Amino acid sequence: KAGVTQTPRYLIKTRGQQVTLSCSPISGHRSVSWYQQTPGQGLQFLFEYFSETQRNKGNFPGRFSGRQFSNSRSEMNVSTLELGDSALYLCASSPDGHSYEQYFGPGTRLTVT
């Protein structure tokens, strides 16, 4: 099976712009989670989607949003970008709603200038 794919892999944006990142989970996986990794804060949970519904949300401002489509693909959006949003954004998928093990994609490296 193909792994979790994320596009784009690298992105450079300017403060104030918005950005959309995409994630395709492993085939058959219905849960998609997003994490932000920064040098100072480590890996922090953003949100999780299961069957097109947001099930969990981390402690991030409303500028961070996401959605999941009927084919389980997911997108996350960050509006009004700030310098501090520069990070590696990781997507992870799980087979169902009760699986603890998550399988991560390679991430999207976002740089905000």
Pick the stretch among 14-22, 52-60, 62-70, 73-81 that binds other proteins (CB under 8 A): 52-60
Which CB, 66 or 107, lies closer to other proteins? Answer: 107
The two tokens of residue 12 are 């450079």
* Residue among 21, 87, 102, 110 that touches other proteins (CB under 8 A): 102
* H-type alpha helices, 9-107: none
Compute the distance between CA of residue 64 and CA of residue 66 in angstroms, rounded to an integer: 7
103 scored as a contact of other proteins (CB under 8 A): yes
50 scored as a contact of other proteins (CB under 8 A): yes
Integer angstrom CA distances of residue 38 from 23, 44, 69, 88, 92: 19, 8, 27, 7, 17
Compute the distance between CA of residue 75 and CA of residue 98 in angstroms, rounded to an integer: 22
> Smallest distance, Å, CB 80 to other proteins?
25
33 scored as a contact of other proteins (CB under 8 A): yes
Pick the stretch among 14-22, 30-38, 61-69, 73-81 that binds other proteins (CB under 8 A): 30-38
* Residue among 24, 31, 68, 72 that touches other proteins (CB under 8 A): 31
Residue 20: beta bridge partners? 77
- Binders in 65-94 for other proteins, by CB under 8 A: 90, 92, 94
Asked if 77 contacts 18 with a C-beta cutoff of 8 angstroms, the reply is yes
